[in-house]
Amino acid sequence: MPTPHVRPPSAESLGEAPGRGRLAGRRILVVGGGQRTFDPATDPIGNGRATSMLCALEGAAVAVADYSLASAQESVDLIARDGGTAFAIQADITSEDDVRRMIDEAVAGLGGLDGLVLNVGIFGQTGLRTFDLAEWDNIVATNLRGPMLCCRYGLDRMDDDASIVFVSSIAAKKAGSQLVAYDASKSGLAGLARHMALEGLTRGIRVNTVMPGLVDTPLGRLTTAGRPERASAKGPFGRQATGWEIAYAILFFLSGESVYVNAQTLAVDSGVTGL
């Protein structure tokens, strides 16, 4: 591959672009809207927090759900600082009861639901023989079973013509991460998303998937700590993505700009999966 040109970040890449009202009046639940902590002093923004903040910036009322209530509340506080409307929900999406309660709280707090972002993902050991079955089961329960439960209880509560966005990973397409359980769970999202798009057809509920590549987030830095070679992987644009760049792809699928786009996957990876 040719030596990459370093693609300079835009105002959108840095979270500095103004809102344009693209989600005005919308009611969005972001599952995984907090973020991990790797180094509080230097952590960049994660995909979920950036998505929560961007939805609010674009005019939506946002329910921010996360396993950590404190992390969800941090996202809500940042939204409030910028004049947006949001509230936090604690939920463990491996728990059916928690998912049911989360949907109930989101619908009650927002006054309805016409957007759902499923930004969840955990990983474990690399390789085939290094993890135990409990780790495998937990990863699959979080990354695949959890989104299924969110759709099972969320679809019927959503308004007609709503939008669901799955957040997957290019690990669903490439085995380079060596994270067997993570890769398998993210690959499974493709089949789940297709079925959810079919379920939503009669009510105009669109279901699409954003598939990030290498992103500089706290979770990404945690991954790099276990696999230092990841730090040198820059991709065709000569750098890793920002959480904001993933959030803008999610925003497209939530907004009316993608009203005729359904059951599709968008890789936000600077071309890694296409070149």
Closest CA to 190 of 211, 174, 205: 211
- Taking the CB of residue 136, how many other CB atoms lie within 10 A of it? 16
Question: How many other β-carbons are positioned within 10 Å of the β-carbon of residue 98?
Answer: 18
What type of residue sits at position 149?
L
Is 182 among the catalytic positions?
Answer: yes
Q: 262: number of CA atoms within 13 Å, CB side? A: 17
Query: Taking the mean position of all CA atoms in its chain, how far away is CA 217?
Result: 12
Q: Determine the Cα–Cα distance for residues 23 and 27; give it in Å rounded to an integer.
A: 8
Strand order in the sheet with 27-31: 85-90, 61-66, 27-31, 115-118, 163-167, 206-212, 265-268
Which is catalytic among the residues 67, 153, 182, 260?
Answer: 182
**What are the residue numbers of the active site?**
182
